[in-house]
Amino acid sequence: MKTLFALLLAFIVTASQAQLPSPDAIKTSKGDLKVQPLNHATMALTWNGKTIYADPYGGAKTFTGIATPDLIIITDIHGDHFDVATLDAIDLGKAVIVAPKAVVDMMSEKLKAKTTVLNNGQTIEKLGVSITAIPMYNLPEAADAKHTKGRGNGYVLKFGDKSVYISGDTSGIPEMRALKNIDVAFVCMNLPYTMDIKEAASAVLDFKPKIVYPYHYRGQNGFSDTAAFKKLVNEGDSKIDVRLKDWYTIK
């Protein structure tokens, strides 16, 4: 009976994992960086024996078959980025968390004890990963914007010799367009919360990452046309590797 139960459990885990897009492996000077899209703005990055969650969201089921986190980065206060229920549901036993002050101010004392505050323009190192906070905000700037400058963070993470940019919720802001030497970028595109595909493509063509993943592309009127985004980018620069993954397989 125990053997049958173990086989059934293994089947359930395998079936759940089969729903996910296959992870990509990106070579760095310290081994491969594995990129696993999970859900909307949520991803798992595995590198040098460590697992990093970005904006864990959607409950424990999102992370079925994924190693427990060593590091968690959170971009903003909104529930699809700072999801307390998910943080309470996953194993945080060895995790350290990096988040902007606006997020930390909303945390329980238990979560605060695990968290380092990082605000726009600041850099720290955790577990061998350099983490720089980049502004993320809506244009035109306004006090009542969904994302105001200084509240949330995009991030540039350094994995060995590779730099990875995670945009968070943002327009095609000057700080994004001015980025240099980005190897991998995750760029949002969902109206009315961030930007449309034309603005996202324009920004990408300014900072020219080697690889770009459109993510966070579900908006008020459904999914953004990521294939059209890829076409816009590659018409402007055929050398940029636009990788289309399904970020919404988990229901």
- The per-residue pLDDT for range 163-205, each reduced to its tens digit, is 999 999 999 999 999 999 999 999 999 999 999 999 999 999 9
* Residue 202: partners with Cβ closer than 8 Å, 6 or more residues away: 172
pLDDT at 19: 78
Rounded to the nearest integer, the mean pLDDT of the chain is 93
Residue 228: inside a domain: yes
- Percent above pLDDT 70 for the chain: 92
Q: Tokens 């968290």 belong to which residue?
A: 115
pLDDT at 3: 52
Q: Which domain holds residue 207?
A: 22-242
Angstrom distance (rounded) from CA 96 to CA 34: 20
Residue 216 sits in a domain of what CATH number?
Answer: 3.60.15.10
Rg (C-alpha) for the chain, rounded Å, is 18
> Residue 3: is it exposed, middle or buried by C-beta count within 10 angstroms (0-12/13-18/19+)?
exposed
pLDDT in tens, 85-131: 999 999 999 999 999 999 999 999 999 999 999 999 999 999 999 99
Q: Does residue 1 surpass a pLDDT of 80?
A: no
Mean of pLDDT values over 225-242: 98
Residue 4: inside a domain: no
Angstrom distance (rounded) from CA 57 to CA 74: 10
Cβ distance 98 to 116 under 8 Å?
A: yes
39 backbone dihedrals φ, ψ, rounded to 5° = -165, 105
pLDDT at 2: 45
Tokens of 81: 């980025």
Residue 17: inside a domain: no
Q: Is the dihedral of CA 85, 90, 93, 99 positive or negative?
A: negative
Residue 16: inside a domain: no
Residue 247: inside a domain: no
Residue 235: inside a domain: yes
Instruction: Count the domains in the chain.
Output: 1
Mean of pLDDT values over 27-49: 97
Band of residue 8 on the pLDDT scale cut at 50, 70, 90: very low
The model's pTM is 0.92
Residue 11: inside a domain: no
Nearest 5°: CA angle at 80, between 125 and 223?
115
H or E element at residue 162: strand 162-166
Q: Does residue 24 surpass a pLDDT of 70?
A: yes
Q: Which residues, listed in sequence order, are joined to residue 155 by a DSSP beta bridge? A: 133, 166
Residue 77: inside a domain: yes
